[in-house]
Amino acid sequence: MAIELNWKHAGVSREEVEVVAQRAMRRVAELRSVAREKNYSDPAYAVALPFEKKFLVQSTALAKEYRDAELLIVVGIGGSNLGTMAVEEAMRGKNSSGPKILYADTVDAGQIAGIKREIKATAKRGGKVLLNAISKSGSTTETIANFAALYAELKNNYPTPEKRVVVTADPTSKLAAVAKQNKFTLLPIPGEIGGRYSVFSNVSLFPLAVAGVDCKELIRGASEMQTRCFASNWSKNPASINAALMYKQRKHGRRVHNTFYFSNDLESCGKWYAQLLAESIGKKTNTSGRVVREGILPLVSLAGDLHRIGQLFYAGPNNTFHRLIRLRGTEKVEIPANAIKGINNLVPHIQGKQMAAVMNAIINGVEISMAQQGIPFFEISLNDKKEHGIGELLQLQMNETMLLGWLLHVNPFDQPDVELYKEETKKMLMKGH
């Protein structure tokens, strides 16, 4: 078990959590049924993905054909790339080895021009490029624009560019039809699973396998967590506890949820979770059609942000519920005792200590001071940031979000209002803007 929870300072009594978590058990039973019956048409089918081996087999088998890639370009936006970024950055770090991975998400001309230069430079030295375009519907403006621009650059630099393209899409979509027309390799996305819940499907498993991530271990962690999240005893079900904590704090008026990641390599995990929470819970109407304007604003903070916005958290409005992500095991880096003369006069007692010990002191200091100030928080601690633990973390957060949506009576699987800007964008393009 890689993950442990500590919620004694969450500002909610055990009795309050039990009442809400017991209510959530009804939804847990329904989710168990979705997985047991393999109900592919249910948007909650993401709870079964860790037990569905076919995507792991498809992605890892195909990835072996592209292990020669020096440059992997993931073209997608939102859930189509955030899960991949979260796992890849956690595994390989911000300064990673192995194939270089670039993400083309929004239509930033400067960014895309830079990626085109990377393609040209890689081809010039005889290296291989892999372009992975990801879109369930195939109608996302940003993704299609970037795909077209980058594929044109492939055509300019490689004699058979179609062999260096993998399209991940719903097999019934227009994009899948275009992939077949152009002889691109096609990987399927389960039709009913939304992008923000798709990290354990081909959407992320394929590019992660190409990057050298141990996807089998990632899925094993996710499946073990999913088993815990199916527990019928609320006190042994981490998803029901987290959802109950979030629900109670929301009802106490806290509409901001800040996650502190005390490892820079987990920042993209934070961005992935921010989309998951914001898009799943932020709804104009509830499941009865009544206007409620529900939502929780997610923030992502790193340890360095204690010096950037920590003052606001401590002294500003007490409207934020905090989640602290702690790593129990990290690399060993010692602070030498005699490297700088007089250093003991600056910060006593750090000489000869491990960096991890200093970070733990910082985290403990945050927790003690928050508790003293009456700032509610809870902690998730991980053994490390390897595949198993990250698989557990992401699966836990997907489950708790599904339960939170159910408790708040909103649909955590749709995003109808995001379509508004997409429709207006296409109108502008038709008008020649």
Element (H, E) at 32: helix 14-36
Distance separating alpha carbons of residues 118 and 124, to the nearest angstrom = 10
97 three-state secondary structure: coil
DSSP-assigned states of every residue in 346-414: TSTT-TT-BHHHHHHHHHHHHHHHHHHHT--EEEEEES-SSHHHHHHHHHHHHHHHHHHHHHTTS-TT-
Residues 252 and 401 in one domain: yes
List, in order, residues 6 or more apart from 346 with CB less than 8 Å away.
Answer: none
225 and 268 inside one domain: yes
Residues whose CB falls within 8 Å of the CB of residue 139, separated by 6 or more in sequence, listed in order:
173, 174, 175
Are residues 122 and 270 located together in one domain of the fold? Answer: no
Residues 209 and 262 grouped into a single domain: no
Domain assignment present for residue 426? The answer is no
User: Is 412 inside a domain boundary?
Assistant: no
Domain end marker among 216, 234, 262 = 216
414 domain-assigned = no
The CATH number of the domain where 24 resides is what? 3.40.50.10490
Q: Is the pTM of this model over 0.75?
A: yes
Query: Where is the domain boundary, 187, 216, 245?
Result: 216
Q: Are residues 156 and 199 in the same domain?
A: yes
Domain shared by 173 and 197, yes or no:
yes
Helices 141-157, 418-430: axis angle to 10 degrees equals 60
Show contacts of 154-158: CB within 8 Å, 24+ apart: 154/119, 154/129, 156/120, 157/119, 157/120, 157/123, 157/124, 157/129, 158/123, 158/129
- What was the pLDDT predicted at 354? 86
pLDDT of residue 137: 76
| Domain range for 109 | 43-216
Residues of the chain with pLDDT below 70 are 1, 94-98, 417-429, 432-433
pLDDT in tens, 331-380: 788 888 777 877 777 887 788 888 888 889 999 999 999 999 999 999 99
Whether residue 195 sits in one domain with residue 67: yes
What are 144-167's pLDDT values in tens digits? 999 999 999 999 999 999 999 999
pLDDT attached to residue 116: 97
- The span from the CA of 34 to the CA of 401, in Å, is 16
Nearest-CA neighbor of 273 among 242, 319, 232?
242
Q: What do you get for the CA distance between the two ends of the chain, in Å?
A: 54
* H-helix segments, 252-373: 267-281, 310-315, 355-373
What is the number of structural domains in the chain? 2
Res 145: pLDDT: 93
